[in-house]
A and B are shown apart, each in its own frame.
Chain A
Amino acid sequence: DQQVKQNSPSLSVQEGRISILNCDYTNSMFDYFLWYKKYPAEGPTFLISISSIKDKNEDGRFTVFLNKSAKHLSLHIVPSQPGDSAVYFCLLTGGGADGLTFGKGTHLIIQP
C-alpha cells in the first residue's frame, strides 16, 4: 500500500508556462516535505521544502504548496525553462528515518 503517490508518471509543458507537479499521501505522521530534481546519471538535487506548520513556501521560480486536510503537496514552477526537464520526486518525512518515503517520480518535459 503506497503511502505516497505521484500519480502522473510524466508531464509535458510548454516553455514559459507553469508546471504543476503533485504528490498525495495517506499518513498524517509526515511533517516535513521536500522536492528533489533528478537528471539522468546524477543524484537527486534538493529543490525546496516545507514544514507542516506552513502552507506555502517560495524560492524564486519554485513554490511548494501544502494542503494538510487534503494530504496534498504540489510544486509549481513558473516560468518553466528547458533546463527544468528532469524527474521530480517528493520526499515525505516524519517520525524519524522510519517515516522517510519517496514518491515514484514525475518526468517533466519542457517543450520549446
Chain B
Amino acid sequence: NAGVTQTPKFQVLKTGQSMTLQCAQDMNHNSMYWYRQDPGMGLRLIYYSASEGTTDKGEVPNGYNVSRLNKREFSLRLESAAPSQTSVYFCASSLVGTQYFGPGTRLTVL
C-alpha cells in the first residue's frame, strides 16, 4: 500500500498562473482533506470531503477549489495563484478519526 500520495512534490508558479495539486489514497477511506502549513502555524484546513461526491469548506478556503473525482482522488486547484498561497500543502485521508497524511507539496508563488 502506498498510503496517501501527492503530486507534484515541488512547484514554482508566477502570480496569476493556475495549477492543480493531485492527491490519491489506496486505503479505501471515505474522508479526504487538504491542509496548508505556514511557518510558525499549525496545519490549517482548506477543504475536506466527507465522502465521494461531497466537499465542504474548511478554515481557509478562499482562492482554492476542490474536486472529489472518485473515492481515491481529491484534487486542489488554484485558479489564479497569489504570493500569499506560498505554502506547503498536505493531503490526508481518514476512515474514522485518525488521519493519514501524504508527503506534501511545496508551492512557491512568485
A residues sitting closer than 8 Å to B (CB atoms) are 4, 9, 32, 34, 36, 41-46, 49, 89, 91, 93, 96-97, 100-105
Contacts and interface: CB of A to CB of B under 8 A. Distances in A.
Contacts of A36: 101
Contact of A97 (B33, B44, B100, B104): B33
Contact of B97 (A4, A41, A49, A89): A49
B42 A105 contact: yes
A49 to B, nearest CB: 6
| Shortest Cβ-Cβ A-B pairs, 9 listed | A102-B42, A43-B101, A97-B48, A102-B43, A104-B42, A44-B101, A43-B103, A43-B102, A43-B104
B104 A42 contact: yes
8 contacts: A32-B97, A43-B101, A43-B104, A44-B43, A44-B101, A45-B101, A91-B99, A102-B35
B45 interface: yes
B43 A89 contact: yes
A9 B41 CA distance: 10
Contacts of A32: 97
A26 to B, nearest CB: 15
